[in-house]
């Protein structure tokens, strides 16, 4: 069974554009190897962090939206945890509600005043 996930991770700010692209491709390939599908990558660019993380004040934000089996998340996060280039990551399971057709309103019987 596959589930929709969103992973946001922050790369070190001192990585060049080419190194950042290599890191993105590395994690994308890792997800594909684990059985992920529909991988959407959004490079949010370099932004200021709210607080210092590992002596960095800035970071390159990357967002991944994908569909994967639950067993794919642990190896993916382990690779990020062991990597020197990722300073923070977060994976969230997304609940996407199926669109249900609106319920038809039942017509309420109108009360008719009885005349006697």
Does the residue 80 lie in any domain?
A: yes
Residue 107 to residue 96: CA distance in whole angstroms: 32
CATH number at residue 30: 3.30.70.60
Instruction: Check if the beta carbon of residue 46 is closer than 8 Å to that of residue 62.
Output: no
Does the residue 103 lie in any domain?
A: no
* Residue 54: predicted pLDDT: 86
DSSP state of 77: H
Evaluate the CA torsion angle 56, 57, 58, 61 in order and state its sign: positive
Residue 11 to residue 84: CA distance in whole angstroms: 9
Q: Domain range for residue 15?
A: 2-85
* Residue 110: predicted pLDDT: 62
Instruction: Check if the beta carbon of residue 2 is closer than 8 Å to that of residue 37.
Output: yes
pTM: 0.76
Low-confidence ranges of the chain (pLDDT < 70): 96-116
Number of domains in the chain: 1
Which SS3 state, helix, strand or coil, does residue 98 take? coil
* Residue 11: predicted pLDDT: 94
* Residue 90: predicted pLDDT: 93
């Amino acid at each position: 069974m596959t589930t929709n996930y969103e992973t946001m991770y922050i790369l070190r700010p001192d990585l060049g554009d080419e190194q950042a692209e290599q890191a993105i491709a590395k994690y994308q390939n890792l997800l594909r190897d684990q059985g992920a599908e529909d991988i959407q990558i959004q490079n949010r660019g370099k932004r200021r962090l709210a607080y210092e993380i590992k002596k960095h004040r800035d970071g390159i934000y990357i967002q991944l939206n994908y569909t994967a089996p639950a067993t794919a998340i642990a190896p993916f996060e382990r690779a990020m945890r062991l990597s020197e280039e990722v300073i923070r990551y977060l994976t969230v399971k997304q609940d996407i509600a199926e669109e249900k057709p609106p319920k038809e309103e039942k017509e309420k019987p109108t009360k008719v005043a009885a005349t006697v």
